Amino acid sequence: MSALAEARARAALADAGLNSDVTLVPLRSVTNEVWVAGEHIVRMNRRQDHRLEREALLAPFLPRELGYPPVVHYGGEMGADHLIVQRVPGRVLSQCWPQMSVADRQEAVKQLAAMLRALHSFHCPVELPVIDSPPLLSATPEGSPLGPLMAALDEAQHLAHVDPGVMIETRNLVISTAPALEPFSATTMVHGDLHFDNVLWDGRRITALLDFKWARPCPADLELDVFLRYCAFPFLHVAEHYRNQARTADYVDVPFVMADYYPELFSMPRQFDRMRLFSIAYDVRELLLFPPPVSAEQLSDHHPYNRLRRTLGGQSYLDLLAQGASVPA
């Protein structure tokens, strides 16, 4: 990281009343600047949102089973806020996964399932700040959870390089399968970004479930949206320096092992239709955040526009998973 990033971390340590001269070791992260500072971890948020504030408010109330590290300090300002927590033993599970035995992998998923059960029974006692660029499905006491998604589809229909017919077809699919989404109201929490870059493993056990910036009250099975997506395309969810080690072949069995240890997570009526709606909402949101600069044929297969087109064609990772087929890397 840059000297400026290191200076920001040292300023955060000083703001917390901690030793700012400690040796700093950078950790690679997809979204934040992260440093090991002795017995502490310093996370610096460089985005114009409240993600670390949400986590700082939520963390003291999380179930102990999740192993979330104690918060030492939160501070800073919008676009430059920071969160300092105690350091927890373990390495990121996604980095450990390629070298783990089948037995250790199964044990890790078993432990993760137990943690998720605890989280999915948890009612947050504090009001959290609104998520910046929020997900398009929301559990609200009034109105349809599909409202934001339908509005986003109307907006996406007018994007350059987007075929309006694709958006109309997507809208029709959402409307025809909308009843599968009920019930969607919930007061218990989901993690919202469940992949192995947010899990620590010490060689025997999961020591912590981390990064709750997307946590929110929603039906528990919404957790499967990112989790199954990660299992299909792990290389899209990890830090760049070990992306080539995150191989789809290493995750083929993970959804089925999770279903063995947490079957109720997969047992909603019309589960496939629910999952497809979750996936569409995820991809439409990303489509608006990253509009296609060229035609679909010139885009990456993993661009949200092409992901939507595969969903409409019955060729998404969910379709392949439902058929028991492997997802192409």
Per-residue pLDDT reduced to its tens digit, 206-231:
999 999 989 999 999 999 999 999 99
Q: Is residue 165 part of a domain?
A: no
Hey, is 101 helix, strand or coil?
coil
For residue 189, what is the enclosing H or E element?
Answer: strand 189-190
Higher-confidence residue: 233 or 45?
Answer: 233
Q: Is residue 273 part of a domain?
A: yes
Residue 326's pLDDT is 54
48 and 189, same domain (yes or no): no
Q: Are 22 and 37 in contact (CB under 8 A)?
A: yes
Residue 209's pLDDT is 97
Which residues are CB-neighbours of 116 under 8 A, at least 6 positions away? 191, 194, 220, 223, 262, 265
13 and 102, same domain (yes or no): no
15 and 127, same domain (yes or no): no
64 and 208, same domain (yes or no): no
Asked whether residue 49 carries a pLDDT value surpassing 90, the answer given is no
Mean pLDDT score across all residues of the chain? 91
Q: Is residue 157 part of a domain?
A: no
DSSP state of 82: E
119 and 188, same domain (yes or no): yes
49: domain CATH number is 3.30.200.20
- How far apart CA 9 and CA 242 sit, in angstroms, is 24
235 and 318, same domain (yes or no): yes
Residue 30's pLDDT is 66
Per cent of the chain over pLDDT 70 is 95
User: Which of 86, 117, 142 is at the close of a domain?
Assistant: 86
Residue 79's pLDDT is 67
Asked whether residue 255 carries a pLDDT value surpassing 70, the answer given is yes
46 and 111, same domain (yes or no): no
Asked whether residue 166 carries a pLDDT value surpassing 80, the answer given is yes
Q: Is residue 297 part of a domain?
A: yes
User: Which of 52, 86, 120 is at the close of a domain?
Assistant: 86
207 and 280, same domain (yes or no): yes
233: domain CATH number is 3.90.1200
Q: Is residue 139 part of a domain?
A: no
Residue 307's pLDDT is 96
User: Which of 86, 102, 119 is at the close of a domain?
Assistant: 86
101 and 223, same domain (yes or no): yes
φ and ψ at residue 41, rounded to 5 degrees:
-115, 130
CA distances from 310 to 132, 154, 270, 279, 327 (A): 28, 20, 20, 11, 12
Read off the pTM: 0.91
Q: Is residue 309 part of a domain?
A: yes
Boundaries of domain holding 292: 91-134+183-322
249 and 310, same domain (yes or no): yes
What total of structural domains would you count in the chain? 2
For residue 190, what is the enclosing H or E element?
Answer: strand 189-190
43 and 116, same domain (yes or no): no
Amino acid, res. 260: D
49 and 191, same domain (yes or no): no
Per cent of the chain over pLDDT 90 is 71
Over residues 270-312, the pLDDT tens digits come to 999 999 999 999 999 999 999 999 999 999 999 999 999 999 9
Q: Is residue 295 part of a domain?
A: yes
**Structure tokens that stand for 151 in this block:** 């509005």
